[in-house]
Structure 1
């Protein structure tokens, strides 16, 4: 059918005609379900509504200041075949598909007249053409409510063979949320939306339809083709991409909404939209457009003045909804009401007697179902006004769990008052009903956070969680955590929130959402208990760190027992060796046979644990290959690190600054040149709120010292003496930023008396000390991974963070900072003991000389390589002379 405005599903009974008011229901399921009763009700309401108003024309609908775009509202200009576009509709079929055919349906005399008019009109406009296709879909007529006939093409069989396009339609709730505090709204409706897109050349024959006048194929996208919504949404998103990204335009299929706070800006953006429509030869129906309204109907809701509410016309339809007499009737009613469930407190509870009949249960009308039907109609007719959330005000979540369901309310404090934003009610699964009561309470919290994640994650204010528990003393004992509980604890740590206890009597909103009269009242689930104390996180981390004892021997035993394929050249290649116990090594590293689980365990131990600290793929590779090896080990490590969830969530991704690179000088020995910087302000931890970071510019070894943000010059001098000079001697040069603790008269005189050269960073250009800045980020990243959720124990973890950094290979030198300074790797407690290492002092000295030479050469090469790649897309700065004024930023 090329005469309607929205796609019609397979059920052809009640179709909307041109000029009807369309009431958008649940678009996410509308195209799939084809529920007859929903569409019939929408049609009845549309006809009734249209009688209340005078006919809409271009002159009385479109404001005069848009009349220079009259061609965009022209029906005559639309009556031509659309041009080919990049979004032409492809009909891609599953492999091995054979053409489908059908018989000609017999038609009456009246239907023949309608068919002749349909064929002639669309041949004239070029939207169909005669066809010799091997494909054929049925064509017939259905009677509309006013007695007229409507042509229908039935593409159900073709759709079953079509590869589905998974391009997503926008989530309606996300679109409504974007409107926020807009004061002016304009809604535009694209004329015969789908017919504006051509079918991809060569695919027209697949959509052919059979009549008694012959076989015809459409050249434009027809309603009823399975991927029509995805194709049309793709085109609309692409042509309006820039305006959508600016945040004042949203598009849902052929509905365009423009929303702003300022009228002048509103008109300017509207003109931009009209210009884009003109350029792409898309046309509007003036009778379905609304301009510059303070309140507007959009996607089945009334939006404006900072709130959203149900459309009164739709509520009127609910009042007269007939009593369901079959499963299909119940599915229709629930399909309609489900779209508005966010308006209805306790929706899950009210609808449960009806929803229980939508599965395999036998339909049986009972008093309980009659009460549920009536109660749900009443709830819809008295649905509250919901606030549209904004980004500036705080949120509050109230949640509760009973034996069989969970319920919650999301509210936001606007204008000094808590206003409802959404309600949530959900029946528990059979498995969830078996949870202990404290797990049910935590399930209610986690379900609420997941439902409203888009509002709560990253909210500028910590939000409140109110529950009728003092929340789970059980979780103070981390040894009792199962996998599900541990996952919840981890997910909770991503949010900034505070927990509050509200007894059931005062927590009526959420409590009512979860409790049903016929269910257990849950009197025993409200004792005063405590949830998620900081000690829980700390104890959990410690148990993880210190549970590694003996794991290496298990690995070795499993390696020996794993069946392995033949080792290449084992008997000829001196790199391979096998000891008397059957342990095979390659280049003095243990060979791990094909055992996916074991290999992942080894990688995980060198990447995930606090002793590893989630390094990147190169450092993880170096740590693993100190003791283990297998073919394609680098690729396995790369995939593992790339898929690490914690790394994705916590690591900082940086971009390169502009300007040419001028590397620092290369020192001749460790601790000859150092840099210093400070991290802060941090959460208070054992009296500290900052970290002092000292870096050896030669070995890359770091010293991280707990400090305070108020550190002065005398404090820095003491830290330098106690942590650097007494261990490594006086440095020749110190690089720092221009903080007062590092640059003042006292420090200048101290450096001069000790023969230390001060090298402060350039003003407004911290990249002078870029290496320390990068190390600071890595330390912060490690602490984020392992400290507790209140961030109060970072000082306790700082020495371990320092050690793990110094024990990882630095990309510039090819050695670990620890090794460059000490000449050996630290014992980690799990590495295999191997005999034959040299104990000759001279050999050790020679090796250290070689390491130092390699380090200097590696730093020089790294600087040259870095500068070459860094400067590739940059240019020299302008030449300045003394006295010129420059802009610093």
Structure 2
């Protein structure tokens, strides 16, 4: 059985609904060994759904089955092998290693049109094998997105040096900065720098490093970190989870049919709008409860409740009836708070010490 998507938290309420019932998000599974107990439990679950105005779709329900596909997932040997492989990947290289101050660092940096990315690595074991020690990524601000390619790549170096300053400043060995922007190799020898580049160049003097060129095809780790902030261009409008006609609740309800049948004894008056359903007096409280206390409505106030009722129903004193119903709602009364300042505490007047003494008290 499946619940409507309006009630995202109802699954937790059904977890403790009784023996032989499992609820996960919007799926409910009822299982018992005895057929008699199973039928009793199914009726109890359906009665609880009806009591809280929750509905299930008959086409998605399955009754009296010995086996059923729950959540659409079958745990096979292949799935178990993939799970074990995933655990192995999380517990073996290339997991992060602790930085070793006795080994030289390698900093891989990259900048895209939306962000910065970098990887701090060291060589262990095999001389050609780099093991990551830390990852870094940062989204560019609105002003930084206006930088040209060279300034963005230079900004990436400055950002990672600030981030890993406690490891790189005063390092025992010369560390290497790998970038896919070849012109940064000549930064130290440049004679014409703008004020921003001059400030950054002064900051770089605190570090002992060498900028080296690395092709973009070999700088994939930093490149991936810098591009994670790019917004994917999606075409079309997003689909609504619920249609606009389902804002109140499912439209087809037994109460609507009962109201229409009651029109045989009490026909709509002459002032009833043509596109509204006239509600006889014996159904007023049920309609107001449907709109105001349904799990999908959230106990709206008087004005909002009146608007929701008038979308489909009508009766002459509708506004005053809704106002009185909301005023008597216990849930709304508990949530209501006063917006007035609290009154001050009463302070007793001092008692005179001898006859003839009076006090002037001004509050």
Structure 1 length normalisation: TM-score? 0.15
Higher RCO structure, 1 or 2 (CA under 8 Å, sep 6+): 2
TM-score, normalization by structure 2: 0.36
